[in-house]
Amino acid sequence: MSNSGDKNEYEEILRERKRMSRNEETLVYNGLLYLLVKMGFDAQVKKTKKTIHTIKMLIVEEIKYRPTGKVLNQAEIAYFSQFLLSDLGYIPLKENSMTLKQLKRSREAQLNNALLYILSSIGFTFDEKKVKV
């Protein structure tokens, strides 16, 4: 097999690994959103482009706590991310040096962290999975 064939095969393996990772993240995030809805919240999600190779992530635009009627928009939800990171001993990254793609992924992570924080504040617990850096 030629070097270009090996390179193409390697690149396809990397793409598939990224898809698998993205699908895992999406399943966790969508599951957290499901729990939030079951615990008394309504969620308005952003209409995003159709996905072909990965599971569709539902990006929250706003949530409303049904018992009180309190509404939080996306920026207010993401704000809670810093509390979770602080509780876990992390320092948030500076966004001014991020690429557009990194910024988008960072926003998704903020929403995910915020959902974790909100769920933990109403009684859910979670353990942090340590991964290699």
Q: What is the pLDDT of residues 77-112, one digit of tens each?
A: 989 999 999 988 888 777 888 899 888 888 888 999
- Global pTM? 0.79
Q: How far is CA 104 from CA 51, 73, 95, 109, 111, in A?
A: 16, 17, 10, 9, 11
Listed in sequence order, the DSSP H helices in 39-72 are: none
Q: What is the pLDDT of residue 108?
A: 87
Tell how far CA 44 is from the center of its chain. Answer: 16
